[in-house]
Amino acid sequence: MANIVKRSLLWVAGGAALAGLTWGLQSGTIAQAQNDPDPGKAVRCANRLSIAFLGNAAQGELLSSTDPQASVDKLLEDPVFIERFARYINSQMNDAPGATAIEDSAYYLSKHVFQNKLPWKDFFSGAFDLTTTGTGAAATVNVAANPNGLGYFHNKAWMERYAGNELTGLRLNAAYRIPHNIVGLRLLATTNAPGADVSATGRAAPACKGCHFEGWHALDKTSAILGRVQRAANGMITFQPADGTPKDVLGGQMLKDDKELVNALLSSEQFLVHSCRLAFGYLYGRNENACEAEVFDACVDALKASGTIQSGLGAIAKDESFCQ
């Protein structure tokens, strides 16, 4: 739904862009038209950038610029863009909006990381916590330092949202969601027939073991280092930490807890690839094509060099192909 909304916004904005394009060609650049074989190119580029970043047609200096791509860094600091990007990231980290504001912790923390120009890794592993002041529609979510934080993965609202319902308390849902969010893992969930064995024995059956016990992503193996969910009779949920014993996770790495899991995923090349896929998806509304490998690699290189996802977005938007 979030992607559909985003694309519909871009489609609606495209109508405004057409009006902006007509206005720019009519009112703006007689001298440019005399000297440039494609006098409308700068206006089209300005509108494309403005729509991609801000969701509306270009205005003011951006519209009149002869080199709109020189304004990419300024667009990356625009509060409208930061708000839109945080909402986009939240839609990619969760399958649906949260029931409460703090359940959308990815929105608040990604916005904090972006506003403060922090490394993108901090979104997943930074020493943060999120708290709520107020209630209902007046609730405000705050980001604060917490030495025991792990991005938003230690936020209690997130932990409860993805606690899952495994019979012995294994956090299978979190074991999927963490690599999904960091490196883009995609697994297809199936609905069990009534009376199916959903215990570890049942999950080891041929139909299920490919996701639960085989491959680097094996959910049961990953969940073994995430601790367990405990549910009291009154419905209260608490979390028991892992036992601290290193276990074989991610296809051969010996890891003991969620912090080591997150850091191992962040150190992989796939983290950079997935981050640039998120950036590409925001700017283009789709995944990259094979013919766009060069600009995609430029995004990966920029992110690797600077650590910020702004650099990856900039590498894509500043490439000449973006305005062709």
Res 34: pLDDT: 54
Give me the helices (H) in the chain, please.
2-27, 30-35, 41-54, 60-64, 72-76, 79-93, 105-115, 122-125, 156-161, 172-183, 200-203, 209-212, 219-223, 258-266, 269-284, 293-306, 309-318
Res 231: pLDDT: 92
Q: Give the separation between CA 239 and CA 150, rounded to whole angstroms.
A: 15
Please state the φ and ψ torsions of residue 259, each to the nearest 5 degrees.
-65, -45
pLDDT tens-digit series, residues 71-104: 999 999 999 999 999 999 999 999 999 999 999 9
- Pick from 278, 284, 286, 275: which is nearest to 319 by CA? 284
Q: Give the separation between CA 91 and CA 1, rounded to whole angstroms.
A: 9
3-state secondary structure (DSSP) of residue 151? coil
Q: Work out the widest C-alpha separation in the chain, in whole angstroms.
A: 79
Q: Give the separation between CA 119 and CA 257, rounded to whole angstroms.
A: 22
CB-facing half-sphere around the CA of 158: CA atoms within 13 A: 26
pLDDT tens-digit series, residues 254-271: 999 999 999 999 999 999
**Minimum mean pLDDT among 6-10, 100-104, 204-208, 241-245: which range?**
6-10
If one compares 180 and 17, the residue with the highest pLDDT of the two is 180
Q: Give the separation between CA 176 and CA 216, rounded to whole angstroms.
A: 12
- pTM, two decimals, is 0.86
Res 36: pLDDT: 64
Res 35: pLDDT: 62
**For range 178-183, the mean pLDDT:** 98
If one compares 14 and 149, the residue with the highest pLDDT of the two is 149
In the predicted structure, residue 12 carries a pLDDT above the cut 70: no
pLDDT tens-digit series, residues 43-79: 999 999 999 999 999 999 999 999 999 999 999 999 9
Res 190: pLDDT: 77
In the predicted structure, residue 172 carries a pLDDT above the cut 90: yes
pLDDT tier at 176, thresholds 50, 70, 90:
very high
Cα–Cα distance list, 197 to 82, 174, 298 (Å): 46, 21, 48
**For range 301-315, the mean pLDDT:** 98
Q: How far is CA 240 from the centre of its chain?
A: 28
**Minimum mean pLDDT among 8-22, 23-37, 144-158, 177-191: which range?**
8-22
Cα–Cα distance list, 52 to 32, 81, 86, 135, 316 (Å): 25, 9, 14, 34, 11
If one compares 200 and 28, the residue with the highest pLDDT of the two is 200
Q: Give the separation between CA 17 and CA 43, rounded to whole angstroms.
A: 10
